[in-house]
Amino acid sequence: MKSFKKRFFIITSILSTLLISFIYKYNISNYNQIAQKKNIALHSYINLPLSFLNDYENIMVFIIILILLILFLVMNNIRLNSVKNNLYKETEFKEIIINTASTLIFILDAEGRIISLNKYAQKETGFKAEEVINKSIYETLIDSKLIKKAKEVFNPHFAKQKVRNRELSILCKNNKQKLISWSISQIVNLNKEIEGILATGIDITKHRQVEAALKYQSLHDSLTGLANREGFSKQFQIEAEIAKHNNEKIAVFFLDIDRFKLINDIHGHQTGDLILLKLSERLQQTLTNREMVARMGGDDFIGILPQIHNHKQDIPEITHRLTKVFDKPFIIKDNKFVLTASIGISFYPDDSIHEETLLRNADTAMYKAKEEAGTSFQLYNDNMNLQVNKKLCLEHSLRRAIKNKELRVYYQPIVDIKTGKIKKAEALVRWEHPKEGLISPGNFIPLAEETGLIVLLGEYVLKEACFQTQAWIDKGYQPIEISVNLSAQQFHKSNLTETVKNILTETRLDPKLLGLEITESLAMENIELTCSILEDFKQMNVKILLDDFGTGYSSLSYLTKFAVDIIKIDRSFISNFHNSSKRSAIVSAIIAMANKLTIRTVAEGVENWEEIKFLNDYKCDEAQGYLFSKPVPAHDFEELLKQNIEFRAQAL
């Protein structure tokens, strides 16, 4: 625009000069000729400068020049209007872009007053333009706590410099805050003086919320909301530094719920998750100050107990609080769950200064605690590692023994009290270790349950027992019934009935000769599921024996629902019961009740003939115990079948 005005001025000046020169020269020449003809002096012309207008030709020249000048001015005016129109369109286009942009755009003066804002900014803040124009942005859109930071962000002198943080929240009309990422540009005049700033902002509230959610998820367990393994690690690093500085100790605990897998298997993972939620709430309520608990995964919890000064004084109080969590049952969907837990504890820096080692040591102590009944805890010591290594070796050997069929099935006779003849046998597994010798079932059965090997072990015993029973029949011996114990994990396997069918088909054993033993407590864990499974076996003609009867917590009314064929009275009632009026009353009542329900009874743990006499008087059907024989290998049991001993003659 400036160069156009300059060019217009120069052209106009040149044309004016040429016009004046032309007129002046023309008139001098013309009047000199007139003066010569009329002998008029030259000076008399000067007094009549406009007299040439009377001349027609001069008038025409003037008019033409005037027309040209007008045309020139018109053309320049047209060009000027075109430029103005283009500028208007460009301005309007910029306004359209600004008002359709999905960013907040503010123009502020040097004092922070709002000169203008786009429609998107009005929409996001809730303020109309007339409500904020000429008002300070610090008074209208900035929280009072953030004004100092806002003045740094919107300071025009910072615009061309790197400001560490240009993220600033604004306060909307509805009092909600939005986090905005700002970009600041200076607005300068022709003299390069700063008049204000152009502030463009992007709403990153949701982005930051997503980031915060992802960060939270990375440090917390999705089910319980407790810290996860990584969250535990970060907190441990902080507590370790504090403990080192203050010369304190930290207790790291590892907590595992006993037999929790059974709850998931029987009642479903949804119920298991609800129990974990309840437990998490209780643990959080019992911990104080900087104490923390995290979920390691599954039913395992880990925690940090800082500010330990004296083991003897601090730990008993802490462990009491942890174990007390399990004093009350967990009520889920009208079901009552009585849980126990095993807790292991290690100490920083006594047992290690490394987090991983401390957790491993606490885990080792926890497994030691599992050897005790009920909720218990153990403090780590170096000897535990030796025991753990031995346990790991035992587990490896057990896996190999199952794979290589190194386990042996022993048989204990069950005798008909009236006839004295062997009517049944219970199959029991024994492990003859090549180096350790005969390993007690009390040592490797819990290990098999803990590691999940109990399912493979149980299937192995079931198949071997069926094979052996059919082999005796094939040799011509009188058929006897064989009973095999089912573990809780086996009982709740979805393919249990199919597995039993396949084994019976493979071994050719008549289903009527097979009995499956389940404990009273196992039967009561899920009544509906138990009834369904037992009914399936009844349809297969497989007998069900309720083992250790009287030691569980079942209601006698459920005996009418369960498809039970035989009740095995626990040895704790049988041992010397004839000398105890209370135990004698219990035994006689169980037998009488079973007879009324047409359920046969077997007395376990019989050790003398006096007990047999009383059992016969009470009308007990069968007996089992060391009185007749301890569990023996297959070839020794076959000898008993050969002899066809009648124990009745000695009993009665």
State pLDDT tens for residues 163-199.
445 889 999 988 899 999 988 888 888 787 888 888 8
Report d(CA 203, CA 20) in Å as an integer.
68
Lookup result for tokens 């046998």: 425
Residue 169: beta bridge partners?
A: 179
Q: Which band of pLDDT confidence, cut at 50, 70 and 90, is reported for residue 78?
A: confident
Q: What Rg do the C-alpha atoms of the chain give, in angstroms?
A: 51
The CA distance from 607 to 620, in Å, is 15
Residues 436 and 453 sit within 8 Å (Cβ to Cβ):
no
Task: Sort strands 194-203 and 249-257 into parallel, antiparallel or unpaired.
Answer: unpaired
> How far is residue 262's CA from residue 273's CA, in Å, rounded to a whole number?
13
Label residue 89 by pLDDT band (50, 70, 90): low
**Quick one: CA dihedral 443, 492, 529, 566, positive or negative?**
negative
C-alpha–C-alpha distance, residues 469 and 473, integer Å = 6
Predicted pLDDT at 489: 85
Q: What local confidence, expressed as pLDDT, does residue 529 receive?
A: 81
For residues 343 and 325, is the Cβ–Cβ distance under 8 A? no
- pLDDT at res. 14: 55
Contact assessment for residue 439 and residue 445, using Cβ atoms and an 8 Å cutoff:
no
The widest CA-to-CA distance across the chain, in whole angstroms, is 189
pLDDT band at 25 (very low <50, low <70, confident <90, very high): low
pLDDT at position 178 is: 92
Cβ atoms within 10 A of the Cβ of 648, count? 16
* Percent of the chain's residues with pLDDT above 90: 34
Query: Which residue spans of the chain are classified as CATH 3.20.20.450?
Result: 411-428+452-649
Q: What is the pLDDT of residue 83?
A: 66
Both tokens of residue 217?
A: 């998820």
List, in sequence order, the alpha helices (H) in 434-541: 441-451, 454-474, 488-491, 496-507, 520-524, 527-539
Instruction: Please check whether residue 624 is in contact with residue 413, taking contact to mean a CB–CB distance below 8 angstroms.
Output: yes
Provide the 8-state DSSP code for 420.
-
- The residue ranges of DSSP E strands in 62-176, in sequence order, are 104-109, 114-117, 167-171
What's domain 98-209's architecture? 2-Layer Sandwich (3.30)
The whole model's pTM is what? 0.57
Among 150, 62, 154, 68, CA closest to 108: 154
Least confident of 41-55, 133-147, 526-540, 581-595: 41-55
Tokens of 578: 């004839």
Among residues of the chain, what percentage have pLDDT more than 70? 83
Fill in the DSSP letter of residue 476. Answer: T
In this prediction, residue 97 carries a pLDDT of 60
Cβ atoms of 61 and 25 within 8 Å: the answer is no
- Give 119: exposed, middle or buried? Use CB within 10 Å, 0-12, 13-18, 19+: middle
Q: Could you check whether the bond before residue 349 is cis, i.e. omega within 30 degrees of 0?
A: yes
Residue with tokens 């009993």: 651
The tokens for 285 are 């309520």
Whether the predicted pLDDT of 3 surpasses 90: no
List where CATH 3.30.450.20 sits in the chain.
98-209
Give residue for tokens 């915060």.
212
**Where, residue-wise, is CATH 3.30.70.270 in the chain?**
219-380
Res 553 pLDDT > 80: no
Coil/strand/helix, residue 580 = coil
| CA 144 – CA 643 distance, rounded (Å) | 101
Residue 279 has pLDDT above 90, yes or no: yes
Residues in Cβ contact with 172 at an 8 Å cutoff, skipping those fewer than 6 apart:
124, 125, 126, 127, 141, 178
Own/partner long-range contacts of 358-365 (Cβ < 8 Å, ≥24 apart): 358/252, 359/252, 359/254, 359/302, 362/252, 362/253, 362/254, 362/302, 363/254, 364/388, 365/254
pLDDT digits (tens, 9 = 90+) for 488-520: 888 888 789 999 999 999 999 999 999 999 887
**Average pLDDT of the segment spanning 36-47:** 47
CB 256 within 8 A of CB 370: yes
CA distances from 334 to 48, 258, 262 (A): 128, 21, 18
Q: Which residues contact 524 (CB under 8 A, 6 or more apart)?
A: 530, 552, 553, 554, 558
Q: How many CB atoms lie within 10 A of CB 45?
A: 18
Question: Strand locations in 119-211, DSSP E?
Answer: 167-171, 177-188, 194-203
CATH superfamily ID and name for 219-380: Reverse transcriptase/Diguanylate cyclase domain (3.30.70.270)
Instruction: For residue 640, give the amino acid letter.
Output: L
CA–CA gap between residue 203 and residue 170 (Å, rounded): 10
Q: How far is CA 442 from the centre of its chain?
A: 37
Average pLDDT, the chain: 82
Choices 1.10.10.10, 2.40.30.10, 3.20.20.450, 2.50.20.10: CATH for 411-428+452-649 = 3.20.20.450
Query: Over 90: is that where the pLDDT of 647 sits?
Result: no
Provide the pLDDT confidence category of residue 433 given band limits of 50, 70 and 90: confident
Using the predicted structure, report yes or no on whether residue 620 has a pLDDT greater than 80: yes
